[in-house]
Amino acid sequence: MPVKWVEKAASSKKIPLPIYLDGHMRWREKDIDDWIQEGCPTSKFKRTQDAAGIYEDNLNLKVVEKEKIAEALRRTSENREKAAHLLGIGERTLYRKIKEYRLD
């Protein structure tokens, strides 16, 4: 696929959200596999956030928790100690959640 299409699709949230490493767009293999298994939906990644920070399209706590853990890991370059601190949970809890949500 052309790079411009990929960048546009990622910015409009039609494909799984990328992570950025050294200025390059990369995707987690698990995110792509899950997206393909679900039939490549384009609406899954469209979210509108209300003033309280709650996503209208998905209020499932497990899904929101998984997203926040993944986001914390991205922000800390996969540093689990820093991610746990950002999330306000213990490292052991984070390790258990990573295993539960298969984020490793």
Q: Give the per-residue pLDDT at 43.
A: 54
Residue 51: Cβ-neighbour burial (10 angstroms; 0-12, 13-18, 19+):
exposed
Q: What digits encode the pLDDT tens for the residues 60-77?
A: 778 888 888 999 999 999
Ramachandran class of 75: left when φ > 0, alpha when ψ lies in -120 to 50, beta otherwise = alpha
In order of their start, the domains of the chain are: 1-46 (no CATH), 58-104 (1.10.10.60)
Phi/psi at 85 (nearest 5 deg)? -65, -45
pTM, rounded to two decimals? 0.46
pLDDT under 50: residue ranges of the chain: 46-56
Q: Looking at residue 90, what is its pLDDT? A: 93
CA distance 88 to 68: 12
